[in-house]
Structure 1
Amino acid sequence: MSNLKLGVEVVSAHDLHPKDGNGYSNPCVELHFEHQKFRTTVKDRDLNPQWNEIFYFNISDSSSLPSLPLEAYVYHVDRTTNSRSTIGKVQISGTSFVSQSDSVVLFYPLEKSHIFSRTKGELGLRVFVTGDPSVRSSTTLPDLNIFHHLPREQNQQSSASLGEGTVNEMRSVPPRGVRFFSASPSSTQPAEFQVKETRPSLGGRTYDLVEKVEYLFVKVVKARDLPSMDITGSLDPYVELRLGNYRGITKHFVKQRNPEWNEVFAFSMDRLQSSVLQVVVKDKDVVSDDFVGLINFDLHELPRREPPDSPLAPEWYWLVDKKGEKTKGELMLAVWIGTQADECFPIALLHDHAVKTTGFPHDSLIRSKVYHSPRLWYVRVNVIEAQDIIIADKTRFPDVFVVCQIGNQILKTKRIQAPNFSPFWNEDHIFVAAEPFEDPLILTVIDLVSSNKEEIIGRVRIHLTAVEKRADDRMLNTKWYSLEKHYVSAEAEQTKKEKFTSRIQLRICLDGGYHVLDESTHYSSDLRPTAKQLWRPSVGLVELGILNAENLQPMKNREGKGTCDTYCVAKYGQKWIRTRTIIGSLSPRYNEQYTWEVYDPATVLTVAVFDNCQLEQSSKDHQSNDSRIGKIRIRLSTLETGRIYTHSYPLIVLQSTGLKKMGDLHLAIRFSSTALLSTMLIYAKPLLPKMHYLRPLSMLQLDALRHHAVQIVAARLSRMEPPLRREVVEYMCDVESHLWSMRRSKAHFFRLIAVFSGLQAVARWLRDVCWWKNQITTVLVHILFLMLVFFPELIAPTIFLYSFLIGIWNYRFRPRFPPHMNTRISQADAVHPDELDEEFDSFPTIRSPDLVRLRYDRLRSVAGRMQTIAGDLATQGERLQALLSWRDPRATSIFLVGCLATAMFLYVTPFTVVVVVLGFYLMRHPVFRHKLPSAPLNFLRRLPARTDSLL
């Protein structure tokens, strides 16, 4: 075999023929040479792709090289059908191969692959022969059928694994231009991060969105006349349930022969290891517990019930000894077989595959629970003025300000010099408070004696329960409040005898006409005002079935193996739900269903999975936070009415080490519209309550109020049983979304590019029309242009008709799955480790000064580019303003003369003629065009801007 190798650099392609029906293609290039095949990566939705990838072919016989052609096929890859179609091909004869030093990039026109194909465009290649021994040949492609079914990420990996020499060559290729960020990624993400449709077996009369699961319920009510077991005649009773290897234990009472437990236990029927249930009453002892009595139940003889069946009434059962003989004491029980729709299921302690230990000490931490977040109000305080301010130093005028405080929310007024001892502020301050109102409003009037000394003049305490509630923008009456004197302990007796007459004028109300933003507006699950009298009727119901999770990543070690103790939290409106904690399972089954009323479809249902880290914590280690496993957001407006969506959602978490898939969560969702007409009409109504528009709040106020609202909700929910911990509430409400992140900045930048991609496509199409790239299209556009000019009444109908036809055409391409978090759009699949470390850094930072300096310099670089773009836009606007501002007298004179001449021309020339001439001029043939800029553009670029005035 020859030591020579054929190097082929696939640079780019231009003006490819669209293949996907939307005016785009997903092109890739496949190279064939002497029974060797290599393929580039796929560029999604790009008619002008750039690859800059190098491949090396082995040359078996250098003497036969002139007779060996190189073939390059350009394919369109259809990811939905896992197929490909040919865009065009290029064939290069072996006689044109040159050495690497003489090689240049040449653009070859694409040829038709067959007689009926439509082909256009060019492919840029650099082909050369090299004898460098350090260059290694690339790895041959796998079978084509395998390639067709590879997702995009694996396709890139296969191209990247073509050989070490190839990767090094690809990295050595210099970029073809400077970009603000790296190239915009496609919105298509790898298959492992995509939503997948599932077909679970749903059933049940009450819970029809989850799988029907049967449970053995045991309700231990109470006991009576139990025998005494100790020498002292006392008894410390508790009840133990035995079902194979499973155990359930009630709490024990001290010295109580007639205890009452009222506890419910549930055992999953599909994992039972015994057909006999033993209910054993024991006496708690220091060394070993004493046996009191037992009751046996045959599972085959137990009654079955399912709502709406009536609850099963408990019965008294005689206790028997180990020999089966009747003994002293009775136990009241209820034993039946039911489903998760049973009313006892939420309060039952479940014992299934997750709990096999004897007695679990954290019953309250693993139960399911429905929470209702507190109703939040905006407290508006208008501090108007104060009168008769009394200060200790009578020789100076007071420098007074007021500190307003509710809980940990503190706001201050500006300082006022009061020559008449009656300062006037008239400032508005807004707080967040939650029902029931626990913290009062405290206003403290303070005199600034010196730069480092303050004296309290007086204080007033106002309980919010006595404050008037307001649902509209009506003006409330002011009220005077007497200030309470602030006493210093050393002179308290003498000061109390003095008469204190200072007072303050306030206007206070609880604003209920706002929606208190306890979460990000983009992900809001409730847009109603606080005042219930302003609520509109509900327009539907959303039902959520939390089925199960699969392939969870271990979060902790127990008994020498990785495991998880997971639970799910869902939030919509004021209702939060928490499923039971499934202990010790990487594939937990929840099968719990919940329902919410819907008042606006433009809202988001949020579901998250957490690992319960409180079950094994000692008293010294009670600060461990529950670990995040993943979060899912579902916008109700994207759901079809009445359809049941059963999908598997990937649980994606961005950690400081990178993007990680934690597992999959299976959900069933149904949005039912109870008032279809009201649902349609609500799209024309304001998104937020009217007070947001009548008395709008600033962005700074909204950010501060949202932060305090989340803290209030987190504090209230963390005090419930079981507690919904603070880190859970903050994660559900996206409290960290406002912090700076290079990754988020890139994501928003590319979102902005994607928004304007349609305008760019129209501009490219108009450019092609004006440059006569397709003569038939250009002629048809001329005809349409003439029709619209001479019949202008057709313009508006044509635009709306085209919009209607485009919408009907896109109906078949509508999304079939609910939208989910996209790793490509989020810039999370290729984020730099240092950017991740910066994103997960605390606020304020705890990193070293050198690292902070490095990140600051990087931020300055990015901000400098953004600053340059903003300056360029401002320059163009200032140049337009300079046309009439006489900053350049000669340019303004020329413009005014031109305006006068144009006005006289337009007065005597019909408007239709002007439009026709202008349109034909813009679409003139390239023969009549010049490559230099036009005179108006040159004139505009010479106009002055305010850049000369910048320092």
Structure 2
Amino acid sequence: MSNKHNQQVNPPPPMEELSPKKTSPNIPSTKKSMASAFSLVEPMEFLYIRIVKGKDPCELENDTETYKTYVEVRIGNYRAITKTVEKTANPEWNQVFAFSKERIHTFFVEILMKKKDKEGEGVKGRLIFDVKEAPQRVPPDSPLAPQWFILEDLGGVCVKEELMVAVWMGTQADEAFTEAWNLNAAGVSYEDVVNTKAKVYMSPKLWYLRVNVIQAQNLEIANKNKKADVFVKAVFGDAMARTKFSTSKNVLNPLWNEDLMFVAAEPFEHLLVLTVVTKVENNEEGVGKCVIHLGKLERRLGSKPVDARWYSLDRPGENCKIQLRASLDGGYHVLDETARHSSDTRPTVRQLWKQEIGVLELGILNATGLPQMKMKSGQQGRTDAYCVAKYGQKWVRTRTIINSSSPQWNEQYTWLVYDPCTVITIGVFDNCQFQGLDNAKGSRDSRIGKIRIRLSTLEVDRIYTYSYPLLVLEPQGLKKMGELQLAIRFNCTSYINLLQGYAQPFLPKMHYTHPLSLYQQECLRHQATKLVSLRLGRSEPPLRKEIVEDMLDYDSRNWSQRKTAANCQRIKAALFSLGYVFEYVESVSSWKRPFLSVLVHLLLIFLVFYPQLIFPAICFNFGVIGMMKYQSRPRNPPHMDPQLSSVHRLSKEDLDEEFDGIPTTCKNNDSLKYRYNRLRIFAGQLQVLLGDIATQLERVLSLFSWRDPRATALFVGFCMISGIVLIFIPVRLLFILFIVYVLRPLKLRSKQPSVPVNFFRRLPAKADSLL
């Protein structure tokens, strides 16, 4: 059993492959250039073909014949088709196709108008254009006007049909790029092509719904002879909350005065339903219900409570009512992501927003080395990758590059920045919403990797171009899923507001004047995540639920032995950094460098005679240390660190436990026993640590408690004698004696603990009273 649980997983890739790499993409922007729409991405040239509409006089001549009309565009081995239009004399398509210039290996483009009937397909006419003759269009030029062209048959003879077409060369900066059917979507049906396009999404406006349940009156209870517990159950959408049992002994007029919190999204779709419930033994019965429309509630900006109102309960012929304070609290920021990875801190109400401090520009260039994410029967696997970036309320989704392990996006997006200590999240996903793939249509999109960048770690107006490794922790261990190349720049519009932001609270004022408990925050965050995923899932194309939950770290608080070990290592590393101070003191007091020790002696004695310079000296010392470390400052943005995440010491059992759900799905009793025993060992170590801390604190208190009468008497006597002595001995002399004692040479030292340490360790604590 021990061998099984100590089994190691696949070894992680070499460390040099897990760090960001500096890149030099061919982007037009410079460090001092102003923000522009496509300054952080490489220009990509496309051949655009817009099929507007056609003329088909044959439709009027053949009234009895029924067929459908569509247009097919051919460039070499590539082809794209429009939607089919029912029989009409003036068919309209108004579709745009974009063909990447680097994939065009022919000189001509062929456009065919086709008909489709029961007997098959046929060509009604065609156009042929020379690719080299296509005009070049560069925004902000006006769009190229389409023209009518008379079609020819396959023999080159003009026919009656005509087609309105526009053909031009442009870049991804063209307005038609977002609506164009890209060449990379070749082989995707017309119904599925919408799932390949780039889109921008906005999170719904979220409010905290606060319901203060005060009291109820004139309740009717069926069995008044038995003792009943009364509480209020509130239902809002899929969320439910309930008060505690009434604190009043009068069952007919119960009292609660308790707050219930929910998350609501505009426009409000759900009703707030409150039910007064009586519980007699194990039987619960509703004795009244009221329904509240959120549109009628007062919107609160500050901490001033709204007026209480009486609401009638649905008991016909009876005067049952409930008193509530219901409001929409707009002074909070509704958390839909973890606080440590928050990308927005603004309150709900726009009037309370701070002024923006800058603009964040993100260029999503390309990815390399992506694995094959899904398989098709009898064929090679494929990856249909797209990126999602989230900052603030704005989500962006790049277009999907079909069947490519090295997709080229070159798309740029911008966000307004209101707080520098926020995080942007970029995820790479595999699109599984296409027909023709085994178990793909309608299945969950798979995550390829995710990157986070904290804005406060970026230098202002500097362009960061790096290739970030995409790392995913799987049940088999850490796996590198490729690399994502990004260009990012943080432009500051107000440096004063930027610096002022460091002195302001991280969250709005309401979070501190009327704070929510950690349990409330986590419950409300899950409600907010569900609402955001529900609303974004209604878009076209939808931003799917699994994508939203992954970007917002929906299950970030699940137990993980690995994360616990990583946090312990972080604490040790932080304390080890402080150890340099003690090492420096030790090197001075050990007289390993006599000149330094003498210098420190003289400096400290000088500060004793001029105490007004102590605090300035400390400030200057910290300032000098900071300036000395400037040359060795980190130049690269932070990234996912596998070593910090403790993935190098994982066993198979560790990963199985981390990926196990709640409640557990493990049916192996041996594994469950092992996890339980290991958790007990870890909890035992934590218990000892907490016990040691409690013991030290209790020893401090025992100095005054007389639990050990001799120890307290010695302490009191020492304090009284010290107070008398300090009256006659100058303070400067005491400091000099203290400095000389602490920094005395090694020959004058003892390896045994000092008298104060011995005295402190002998003090009693309450650990002796534990069973």
Normalised by the size of structure 2, how large is the TM-score? 0.94
**What is the rounded CA distance, in whole Å, between the counterparts of 1:456 and 1:926 in structure 2?**
80
Instruction: Give the drift of 1:218.
Output: 1.7
Q: Does 1:949 align with 2:769?
A: yes
Partner SS state of residue 859, structure 1 = helix
Counterpart in the other structure of 1:149? none
Provide, for residues 726-754 of structure 1, a one-character-per-residue CA deviation record: whole Å limited to 9, x for no partner.
Answer: 11111111122211111111111111112
Instruction: Give the drift of 1:627.
Output: 1.3
Larger relative CO (CA 8 A, sep 6+): 1 or 2?
2
Counterpart in the other structure of 1:539? 357
Counterpart in the other structure of 2:713? 893
Partner SS state of residue 216, structure 2 = strand
One-letter amino acid matched to 2:312: S
**What is the rounded CA distance, in whole Å, between the counterparts of 2:306 and 2:121 in structure 1?**
69
- Structure 1 residues 682, 784: closer, same or farther in 2, change over 3 A? same
One-letter amino acid matched to 1:569: V
Partner SS state of residue 757, structure 1 = helix
Q: Does 1:403 align with 2:233?
A: yes
One-letter amino acid matched to 1:272: I
Provide, for residues 127-181 of structure 1, a one-character-per-residue CA deviation record: whole Å limited to 9, x for no partner.
Answer: xxxxxxxxxxxxxxxxxxxxxxxxxxxxxxxxxxxxxxxxxxxxxxxxxxxxxxx
Instruction: Give the drift of 1:231.
Output: 8.2
Counterpart in the other structure of 1:238? 70
Q: 1:362 aligns with which of 180, 192, 213?
A: 192
One-letter amino acid matched to 1:642: D
**What is the rounded CA distance, in whole Å, between the counterparts of 1:757 and 1:779 in structure 2?**
27
Within a 5 Å distance, the mapping from 1:910-949 to structure 2 comes to 910-949=730-769
Report the number of matched residues.
749
**What is the rounded CA distance, in whole Å, between the counterparts of 2:106 and 2:58 in structure 1?**
29
**What is the rounded CA distance, in whole Å, between the counterparts of 1:358 and 1:708 in structure 2?**
36
Contact 2:227 2:280 in 1 (8 A): no
Q: Does 1:201 align with 2:19?
A: no
**What is the rounded CA distance, in whole Å, between the counterparts of 2:737 and 2:91 in structure 1?**
100
Q: Does 1:413 align with 2:243?
A: yes
Q: 1:785 aligns with which of 580, 600, 604?
A: 604
Provide, for residues 423-444 of structure 1, a one-character-per-residue CA deviation record: whole Å limited to 9, x for no partner.
Answer: 1110011111111111111111
Q: Does 1:422 align with 2:253?
A: yes
One-letter amino acid matched to 2:358: G
- Structure 1 residues 287, 828: closer, same or farther in 2, change over 3 A? farther
Instruction: Give the drift of 1:562.
Output: 3.3
Instruction: Give the drift of 1:360.
Output: 5.5
Counterpart in the other structure of 2:276? 445
Contact 1:376 1:530 in 2 (8 A): yes
Q: Does 1:250 align with 2:77?
A: no
Contact 1:320 1:326 in 2 (8 A): yes
Within a 5 Å distance, the mapping from 1:286-325 to structure 2 comes to 286-325=118-157
- Structure 1 residues 207, 914: closer, same or farther in 2, change over 3 A? same
- Structure 1 residues 618, 665: closer, same or farther in 2, change over 3 A? closer
Counterpart in the other structure of 1:651? 470
One-letter amino acid matched to 1:215: F
**What is the rounded CA distance, in whole Å, between the counterparts of 1:501 and 1:315 in structure 2?**
75
- Structure 1 residues 320, 477: closer, same or farther in 2, change over 3 A? same
One-letter amino acid matched to 2:201: Y
Provide, for residues 661-703 of structure 1, a one-character-per-residue CA deviation record: whole Å limited to 9, x for no partner.
Answer: 1111111111111112211222111111111111111100111
**What is the rounded CA distance, in whole Å, between the counterparts of 1:297 and 1:473 in structure 2?**
69
Counterpart in the other structure of 2:565? 746
Q: Bigger radius of gyration, 1 or 2? A: 1
Contact 2:468 2:485 in 1 (8 A): yes
Instruction: Give the drift of 1:295.
Output: 2.1
Counterpart in the other structure of 2:32? none
Greater shift in the superposed pair: 278-287 or 889-898? 278-287
Q: 1:217 aligns with which of 7, 31, 48?
A: 48
Instruction: Give the drift of 1:943.
Output: 1.1
One-letter amino acid matched to 2:310: W
Q: Does 1:344 align with 2:176?
A: yes
**What is the rounded CA distance, in whole Å, between the counterparts of 1:404 and 1:415 in structure 2?**
14
**What is the rounded CA distance, in whole Å, between the counterparts of 1:276 and 1:683 in structure 2?**
60
Counterpart in the other structure of 1:271? 103
**What is the rounded CA distance, in whole Å, between the counterparts of 2:68 and 2:596 in structure 1?**
93
Instruction: Give the drift of 1:461.
Output: 1.1
**What is the rounded CA distance, in whole Å, between the counterparts of 2:664 and 2:495 in structure 1?**
51
Q: 1:669 aligns with which of 488, 496, 502?
A: 488
**What is the rounded CA distance, in whole Å, between the counterparts of 1:941 and 1:192 in structure 2?**
50
Within a 5 Å distance, the mapping from 1:161-200 to structure 2 comes to 190-200=15-25
One-letter amino acid matched to 1:196: K
- Structure 1 residues 619, 404: closer, same or farther in 2, change over 3 A? farther
Contact 2:390 2:425 in 1 (8 A): yes
- State the identity as a percent: 48
Provide, for residues 791-844 of structure 1, a one-character-per-residue CA deviation record: whole Å limited to 9, x for no partner.
Answer: 111111111112221222111111111111111111123322211111111222
**What is the rounded CA distance, in whole Å, between the counterparts of 2:439 and 2:366 in structure 1?**
33
Greater shift in the superposed pair: 596-605 or 755-764? 755-764
Q: 1:595 aligns with which of 410, 414, 429?
A: 414
Counterpart in the other structure of 1:613? 432
Contact 1:402 1:446 in 2 (8 A): yes
**What is the rounded CA distance, in whole Å, between the counterparts of 2:439 and 2:170 in structure 1?**
41
**What is the rounded CA distance, in whole Å, between the counterparts of 2:14 and 2:587 in structure 1?**
32
One-letter amino acid matched to 2:723: A
**What is the rounded CA distance, in whole Å, between the counterparts of 1:501 and 1:260 in structure 2?**
65
Q: 2:646 aligns with which of 822, 827, 842?
A: 827
Partner SS state of residue 630, structure 2 = helix
Counterpart in the other structure of 2:530? 711
Provide, for residues 185-216 of structure 1, a one-character-per-residue CA deviation record: whole Å limited to 9, x for no partner.
Answer: xxx98110111111111138741111100111
Partner SS state of residue 740, structure 2 = helix
**What is the rounded CA distance, in whole Å, between the counterparts of 1:616 and 1:234 in structure 2?**
28
- Structure 1 residues 331, 620: closer, same or farther in 2, change over 3 A? same
**What is the rounded CA distance, in whole Å, between the counterparts of 2:375 and 2:431 in structure 1?**
13
Instruction: Give the drift of 1:391.
Output: 2.4
Contact 2:66 2:117 in 1 (8 A): no
Counterpart in the other structure of 2:295? 465
Counterpart in the other structure of 2:680? 860
Counterpart in the other structure of 1:10? none
Instruction: Give the drift of 1:395.
Output: 3.8
Contact 2:20 2:468 in 1 (8 A): yes
Contact 2:471 2:481 in 1 (8 A): yes
- Structure 1 residues 273, 533: closer, same or farther in 2, change over 3 A? same
Contact 1:544 1:669 in 2 (8 A): yes
Q: Does 1:386 align with 2:216?
A: yes
- Structure 1 residues 925, 371: closer, same or farther in 2, change over 3 A? same
Provide, for residues 567-612 of structure 1, a one-character-per-residue CA deviation record: whole Å limited to 9, x for no partner.
Answer: 0000111110110111111111001111111111111111111111
**What is the rounded CA distance, in whole Å, between the counterparts of 2:585 and 2:696 in structure 1?**
23
Unaligned runs of 5+ in 1: 1-187, 486-497
Instruction: Give the drift of 1:935.
Output: 2.2
Counterpart in the other structure of 1:504? 322
**What is the rounded CA distance, in whole Å, between the counterparts of 1:739 and 1:825 in structure 2?**
19
Partner SS state of residue 703, structure 1 = helix
One-letter amino acid matched to 2:713: S
Contact 1:234 1:256 in 2 (8 A): no
Instruction: Give the drift of 1:773.
Output: 3.0
Counterpart in the other structure of 2:5? none
Contact 1:238 1:283 in 2 (8 A): yes
**What is the rounded CA distance, in whole Å, between the counterparts of 1:621 and 1:363 in structure 2?**
15
One-letter amino acid matched to 2:408: R
One-letter amino acid matched to 2:301: A
Counterpart in the other structure of 1:877? 697
Partner SS state of residue 731, structure 1 = helix
Instruction: Give the drift of 1:908.
Output: 1.1
Q: 1:477 aligns with which of 272, 290, 307?
A: 307
**What is the rounded CA distance, in whole Å, between the counterparts of 2:527 and 2:251 in structure 1?**
37
**What is the rounded CA distance, in whole Å, between the counterparts of 1:619 and 1:821 in structure 2?**
33
Contact 2:70 2:85 in 1 (8 A): yes
Q: Does 1:374 align with 2:374?
A: no
Normalised by the size of structure 1, how large is the TM-score? 0.76
One-letter amino acid matched to 1:663: G
**What is the rounded CA distance, in whole Å, between the counterparts of 2:658 and 2:37 in structure 1?**
45
Contact 1:717 1:725 in 2 (8 A): yes
